[in-house]
Amino acid sequence: MMRKLISKDMPVNEITKRDAPSIATLILCSIAVLTLVQVFVLQVPTSLSAKRVSVVVSIVPQKYFVDQIGKGKVNVIVMVPPGANPHSYEPKPKQMIALSGAKAYLTIGIEFEKAWLQKVLNQNRDMKIFHMEEGIKKIPIRKSVTKQYATKSSIETLSTDTHGDEKLDPHIWLSPILAKTIASNTANALITIDPSNTEFYNHNLKLFLSKIDALHEKIRKILDEKKKKAFIVFHPAWGYFAWTYGLKEVPIELEGKEPSPKELKELIQFARQRGIKVILVEPQFSDRIAKIISREIHGKLIKVDPLAYEWDINLLHVAEIIGEVSK
C-alpha cells in the first residue's frame, strides 16, 4: 500500500494521533538524558572530595605549610583556632568528632599536644603521628631578663645541648631556617600517607623551599648589621626569629607569669639603657603591662600574631617593623 503523505488538507487530529508515540518517546528520552547529566554533575564534586586526604595539625601556621605542599589534595583540620591560646585551649566536641576521618596528626611540639594528643589518638586509633619538629634542636627560654644576655651570642645558645631544667622554646616555625625542616617533614608525612602523589608533593616542596629562601634573604637585608637591636615581647615567642637574625628578644612574661614590680622596674631600666623602642604584643595575651613599658620608654607598641596563617607575610611584617624603628 502506498504510504500516506501528510497534506495541508489532512485533519489536525489525524496528524496528532499518528505522531503521538514518537513525541512521547522524544520527551522520555530528553528526561532520561537530563537525569543522567544531573547525576553526573552531582557526583563529580563527591568523587573529587574523596581523593583528598585529611590531616590534623595543632596550629594555624601549620595549615599554611600543608597548604603550600598539599595544595588541593589535602584537607587540613586545625585544632587550635585563630585567636585561641595554644597553652590553654580545649578542643570543642565537634572538633574531636571531625578527627574520625583523618589519616595523620602532624605535631609541632607545643604545650597543647602534651595535654591533648593522647585524647586525640583515642578518638581515631588508626591515625598516624608525624613529628614536624624532628631534627630541630630547641633553645631554652631564659628565666631572667637581665641574665638572658650573659652568653656571647644567641647562636651559641642554640648549638649547646646543656639546657638543665630550663623550659625549651616551642615556637620553631618563626625562623625561616627551621621552617625548611618543618616543610620537609610535612612533605615526608604526606608522601607516607598518600604515596600515589609523591611527585606532586616533592614538586611543591621544592617550590616552597625556594619561597622560604627568598623570604629569608629579604628579611636578612632588612635586618642588616647597622639595624640589629633588641626588641621587647610580652610572651617569649620570637626567640628563634631573633636567633636567626642576630637580634635580642626581651620577654615581659617570665615562666607564664607577669613580672613583679621589681622585675618590671629592671626591665624598663634595661630597655632605656639598650635604646629598645619596639614592643611586640600578641592578641592571645593582655597588653596592659606592655602599654606601661611603652609609655615609660617612649616605645612603639605593635600587635603581631605568631599564629597567623599567612606565615611569610607575617614574618616579613615583623622584620619591617623592627628594621624601621631600629634605624
Going 68 to 74 to 75 to 79, the CA torsion angle's sign is negative
Looking at the structure, do residues 182 and 77 belong to the same domain, yes or no? Answer: yes
Alpha-carbon distance 211 to 69, whole Å? 12
Q: Which of 114, 323, 117, 133 is nearest to 240 (CA)?
A: 133
pLDDT at site 175: 97
Looking at the structure, do residues 236 and 145 belong to the same domain, yes or no? Answer: no
Looking at the structure, do residues 214 and 283 belong to the same domain, yes or no? Answer: no
pLDDT at site 158: 41
Tell me the HSE value of 27 on the side-chain side, using a 13 A CA sphere. 6
Chain segment 210-263, per-residue pLDDT in tens: 999 999 999 999 998 655 578 998 888 999 999 999 998 988 887 778 888 898
CATH number at residue 98: 3.40.50.1980
- Is 298 part of a structural domain of the chain? yes
Looking at the structure, do residues 114 and 203 belong to the same domain, yes or no? Answer: yes
Q: What is the DSSP code (8-state) at residue 142?
A: P
Looking at the structure, do residues 112 and 197 belong to the same domain, yes or no? Answer: yes
> Among 218, 242, 258, which residue terminates a domain?
218
pLDDT at site 226: 54
- The CA–CA distances, whole Å, from 259 to 24, 169, 178, 204 equal 86, 19, 30, 45
Looking at the structure, do residues 207 and 252 belong to the same domain, yes or no? Answer: no
Looking at the structure, do residues 211 and 302 belong to the same domain, yes or no? Answer: no
Looking at the structure, do residues 214 and 229 belong to the same domain, yes or no? Answer: no
> Among 218, 242, 257, which residue terminates a domain?
218
Q: CB-based contacts of 11: which residues, under 8 Å, 6+ apart? A: none
Average per-residue pLDDT in the chain? 80
pLDDT at site 141: 80
> Which residue numbers in the chain have pLDDT < 70?
1-50, 142-166, 225-228, 326-327
pLDDT at site 281: 87
pLDDT at site 41: 33
Domain that holds residue 176: 51-131+139-150+166-218
Is residue 168 within 8 A of residue 110, CB to CB? The reply is no
Looking at the structure, do residues 187 and 230 belong to the same domain, yes or no? Answer: no
pLDDT at site 22: 56
Looking at the structure, do residues 192 and 299 belong to the same domain, yes or no? Answer: no
Strand order in the sheet with 278-281: 248-251, 230-233, 278-281, 300-303
Is residue 56 within 8 A of residue 79, CB to CB? The reply is yes
Is residue 60 within 8 A of residue 307, CB to CB? The reply is yes
